[in-house]
Structure 1
Amino acid sequence: MVSKDHECHILWLLDSGEALIGKCLDEHVWPDVILIDAELGDSSGISLCRRLREVNSSVSVVIITSYPLRRYYYRAIMAGAQGLIHKSDYRYLIPVLHEVHDGSAMSVSTFRDMSEVTGADGITISSQESGDDDRPPAPQEWFKSASDSYDMRHSRKYKDKSCLNYMEEMVLRLSAEGMTQNDIAREIGISSTSVRTYSLRARRKLKSKTLIQAVVTWLSINS
């Protein structure tokens, strides 16, 4: 829990994903922020975040990992997390918790500072100016607030396209932006073979003969 005087208090520690979901169903024990290890013992931290976001629209989630940030960046966003930090970035832990404690997403500027230390190469952040104000340029894909993430996962369109997993959707989205398979592989930090596999699965699920047809179908669902 994050108090008004900027102190953080640990309410509970859990080593079970099921126990965490149970806690988040009881509003009397909700914390402001939940810090989830991406590499949990009994389940994936990303899948746990996804399950939590489907039942709770108030608690912020920050994913923490010892792997390069690009490994979980897009997955954390699509799972409904509000931030992502590296385990070596202990200096940024408290600032990030303060940023997201009210359900907001972590700031672009904090992520930029952090990525200079841990190497978030492979994550595309727009170089275009964000306007006349002093805000940093927005990344190509960014974290949403807890409530917006909850709404996304419960929207009709999301359910319509829920046959696709997050990596299949990511391949289609980047393909729609004109990226080749090799471009996509570099962008999200996986092999070109994996990109082809996700592309093929998406085509089959959307009953499309070609990648272009799959992209058009996916775009129509998301329009």
Structure 2
Amino acid sequence: MNEHEHHDGGTTLAAVDNDAMTLMALQAITPKLLPGSRFLWTTDSPNTAVRNTLNPMTRPNVLLMDMSLGRDSGITVCRRIRSRTPHTPILAVTSFPLHLYARSAAEVGAQGIVSKSDMPALAKALRLVADGGTVTYDDGTGPDPMSASDTEITFETAETAHRRLATDLSQDLPLLTDKEIEVLEMMSRGYTFERLAKEWHISSSTIRTHAHRAEKKLGAATLAQAIAIWMSEERA
């Protein structure tokens, strides 16, 4: 896994791709296409991508999602993320013909799709998605927000797609709040209530409240069990 973190300002980016060279290229090129942007992290692990994007501490402003991830499908990973959060617009990227993934990417909540090799289209798509917009794919010609035809595929905003996909979670675990996720994440790393309270400048009782609410939602008897259930779900 290749991960890099930055903590200064600007539009934050992240990317998931199973090709190390592609990740390096995206890190070098993308900030030039979207001035002022910088990478929070990159990874070749779908599970890490899901966990980082759902965690408010590591959530990027825009996630670049490769559609072909070896044994895993970018389509599946995109659905896992979008069904659980309205945050972080997802821009699907691929080196294959766009028509192979465009409709599926839209269905699972991506905000657009673009070829990795089309720099002008990638730059345009990044700007649109970073500004909260969406990209329209038209008849295999690439993203063109001004086009309109019978063959176009319209991508929803992250919020709209989440509302649609969240209804498919009836058999999944209850959705946790950002703070509940954050507490479970930090507790899984060995943090105590007191340490979190000190770092977050809030009372330990507030931390305990978030933890206990997460326990109740997950149907867990203990905090350790809640963490185990949550981590198991995020790896599913």
Structure-2-length-normalised TM-score: 0.52
Q: 1:87 aligns with which of 116, 125, 130?
A: 116
The one-letter code of the counterpart of 2:115 is H
In the alignment, the residues of structure 2 paired with residue 55 and residue 76 of structure 1 have an alpha-carbon distance, to the nearest angstrom, of: 16
In the alignment, the residues of structure 1 paired with residue 69 and residue 125 of structure 2 have an alpha-carbon distance, to the nearest angstrom, of: 21
Matched, 1:143 2:143: no
5+ residue gaps, structure 1, are: 126-134, 161-223
Q: Which residue of 2 aligns with 1:23?
A: 52
In the alignment, the residues of structure 1 paired with residue 44 and residue 108 of structure 2 have an alpha-carbon distance, to the nearest angstrom, of: 20
- Compared CA separation, residues 44 and 154, structure 1 to 2 (3 A): same
Aligned residues: 138
5+ residue gaps, structure 2, are: 1-9, 13-33, 171-236
8 Å contact kept, 1:32–1:60: yes
The one-letter code of the counterpart of 2:64 is L
Provide Cα deviations, 1:65-108, integer angstroms capped at 9, x if missing partner. 111111001100101000101122122222211101143212x4
Q: Which residue of 1 aligns with 2:11?
A: 2
In the alignment, the residues of structure 2 paired with residue 34 and residue 9 of structure 1 have an alpha-carbon distance, to the nearest angstrom, of: 12
In the alignment, the residues of structure 2 paired with residue 91 and residue 140 of structure 1 have an alpha-carbon distance, to the nearest angstrom, of: 20
8 Å contact kept, 1:60–1:102: no
After the TM superposition, which segments of 4 or more aligned residues of structure 1 sit over 3 Å from their partners? 138-141
Q: Which residue of 2 aligns with 1:198?
A: none
8 Å contact kept, 2:83–2:169: no
- Compared CA separation, residues 30 and 159, structure 1 to 2 (3 A): closer
- Compared CA separation, residues 44 and 95, structure 1 to 2 (3 A): same
8 Å contact kept, 1:60–1:81: yes
Please give the secondary structure, in 1, of the residue aligned with 2:155.
Answer: coil
Q: Which residue of 1 aligns with 2:192?
A: none
Q: Specify which structure has the higher proportion of strand.
A: 2
In the alignment, the residues of structure 2 paired with residue 142 and residue 20 of structure 1 have an alpha-carbon distance, to the nearest angstrom, of: 25
Q: 1:36 aligns with which of 45, 57, 65?
A: 65
8 Å contact kept, 2:11–2:36: yes
8 Å contact kept, 1:2–1:97: no
Provide Cα deviations, 1:174-222, integer angstroms capped at 9, x if missing partner. xxxxxxxxxxxxxxxxxxxxxxxxxxxxxxxxxxxxxxxxxxxxxxxxx
Q: Which residue of 2 aligns with 1:205?
A: none
Matched, 1:76 2:87: no
8 Å contact kept, 2:97–2:140: no
In the alignment, the residues of structure 1 paired with residue 140 and residue 11 of structure 2 have an alpha-carbon distance, to the nearest angstrom, of: 24
Matched, 1:153 2:165: yes
The one-letter code of the counterpart of 2:148 is P
Structure-1-length-normalised TM-score: 0.54
Please give the secondary structure, in 1, of the residue aligned with 2:86.
Answer: coil
Matched, 1:51 2:80: yes
In the alignment, the residues of structure 1 paired with residue 88 and residue 71 of structure 2 have an alpha-carbon distance, to the nearest angstrom, of: 22
CA RMSD across the alignment: 2.8
The one-letter code of the counterpart of 1:76 is A
In the alignment, the residues of structure 2 paired with residue 61 and residue 91 of structure 1 have an alpha-carbon distance, to the nearest angstrom, of: 18
In the alignment, the residues of structure 2 paired with residue 36 and residue 140 of structure 1 have an alpha-carbon distance, to the nearest angstrom, of: 21
